[in-house]
Amino acid sequence: MVGIGLFPMNRTLSWLSAILFLGCLFLGYLAARQKTEITQAKAEIKQVNLHWDAAKKEEQKQILDLQQQLTAAKEAQVLLQKQAGQQAQELSASAQSKSDDASTDGSTKAGGTIIHISDILKDHPEYAALYAKQMRRNVDLKYGSSLSTLNLAPDQLSKLKDLLTERAMSNIDAQQLATAAGLERGSPDWQAAMKAAAQDTEQQITAILGSNADATLTQLQVRTAIQNQVNTTYMADFTDAGMPLSPVQSSGLIQAMADANYAGKDLSTRPSGYNTPDPTTGLTPHDNRIINAAAQVLNPAQIQVLTTDQVEFHKIAAFMKQYNKSGGPVMFVP
């Protein structure tokens, strides 16, 4: 009886052992598969990291190349600006020399011809309107949109442009009359004749701009030059850095630079060493004044672009100075 009762129990244990064995095999299979998947995942991650490192190195290389190209472009632009300014000075000096060499019949020693506007106006009165339009255009080029900062009424602004045009025209007429009277160019009598010829026009300009009219006009000319500099130099750098200036920011930067400039102002109030770069920061007190004022309209990242530009301009100027110790006109070539 006892022996017969053990058979069902033995059969049950055999089934349990088989099930446990199969379970162990399945768990072993899962563990092996998971290990294989982990190994493959690690290999894939390693491959991705290698690709990422390579891409990052390539990106850094491209950024470095772009920075080098940008620096070279800035240097080339500064050189071109210097060349343009120097060529303008040389042309002006050449024109002055030709004018001094002119004989009474209008010919010059170099074989050229001096044409006096007053002669054309005398022989062809109809040219007056064309010439006045040219002078009016020159006024717009000279002062640009800076005249709008005066906040004059439209009729006053138009009158001011007319007066500035008239002053330019009367100055040419006065020079011809002074020459005909035998006055030496630049002499006290010559200067007195120029002043007398423009006296009425100057009084009307003063009535609009106030007693410091000449200083105000000088500041407006400088503001126009600064505006051109911002548009042709600084704007490109901000755009390249991915932080283009808005119209409000551009106007604010121009105003900051104009306020920091002492042209047409009392130079006795200008701090000593105003345009001397600090050996540590590379910035001048002039630069710092611009940067501090510009911080009201530019964000910190844009201020960094502006600061970098200011420092680099001084570095370029220092390099150029090493090759032009005389300080005279120079022509840069590649």
The model's pLDDT over 108-167, given as tens digits with 9 standing for 90+, comes to 444 567 777 777 877 888 888 888 888 888 888 888 888 888 889 999 999 999 898 888
pLDDT category at 285 given cuts 50, 70, 90 is very high
Per-domain boundaries in the chain: 117-210, 212-319
**49 has a pLDDT exceeding 90:** no
CB–CB of 144/227 below 8 Å? yes
**294 has a pLDDT exceeding 70:** yes
**Which of 118, 17, 76, 36 has the alpha carbon at shortest distance from 333?**
76
Q: What is the dihedral of CA 47, 48, 51, 57, to 10 degrees?
A: -120
54 or 99, higher pLDDT: 54
Cα dihedral 119, 120, 126, 130 sign: negative
pLDDT at 97: 43
pLDDT digits (tens, 9 = 90+) for 20-45: 655 565 566 555 666 666 666 565 56
**Which of 204, 183, 180 has the alpha carbon at shortest distance from 192?**
183
Q: With H, G, I as helix, E, B as strand and everything else as coil, classify residue 85.
A: helix
pTM: 0.56
pLDDT digits (tens, 9 = 90+) for 201-250: 889 999 998 888 888 888 888 888 888 889 988 999 999 999 999 999 99
**Which of 203, 205, 223, 135 has the alpha carbon at shortest distance from 163?**
205
Q: How far apart are CA 96 and CA 117, in angstroms?
A: 16
pLDDT at 6: 47
- Which of 17-26, 51-60, 183-192 holds the top average pLDDT? 183-192
